[in-house]
Amino acid sequence: MIKRLADNLKAVRKTRWRMSQDRFAQLLDSTRSKINSYENGGVEPSIAFILKLQQLTNVSAQQLFYGHLVLEQIPPFPLEQGQTYVDDTNAIVVNESELAEVLAAQKNTQENLARIENKLGEIKTLLRT
């Protein structure tokens, strides 16, 4: 169990996210020495650590402890709370507020295009007369 978790932690950190133990520790509110101990299988991480890791990777604790991770199914970078990740082929990572912003911007763009088209119509009418 600990060996599998150690291997999975290292795979996520080094292979998928290509990050140092220091940066990984910062993301997980931990220290580099604890990350090193976890990756070497010397110490079992706390529940709080596992919960944070689950959030960042979108992987269950059961899979972290017992599974063979498919790295392509893990986001290419840590997820923030509320974000959703599909996979590398779709490369979709959004949260609800970002989606709302995109939809609002799209609506504004459509409204602006409609105004421009109306103005162009008015100019064409003026040019004909």
The mean predicted confidence, pLDDT, of the chain is 81
Q: pLDDT digits over 32-71, tens only?
A: 999 999 999 988 899 989 988 888 887 888 888 888 887 8
Transcribe 46-104 into DSSP letters.
PHHHHHHHHHHHT--HHHHHHS---GGGS-SSPPPTT-EE--TTTT-EE-HHHHHHHHH
With 60 as the cut, is the pLDDT of residue 92 above it? no
Would you kindly state where each structural domain of the chain is located, as residue ranges?
2-80, 95-129
pLDDT band at 83 (very low <50, low <70, confident <90, very high): low
Q: Which fold has domain 2-80?
A: 434 Repressor (Amino-terminal Domain) (1.10.260)
Read off the pTM: 0.59
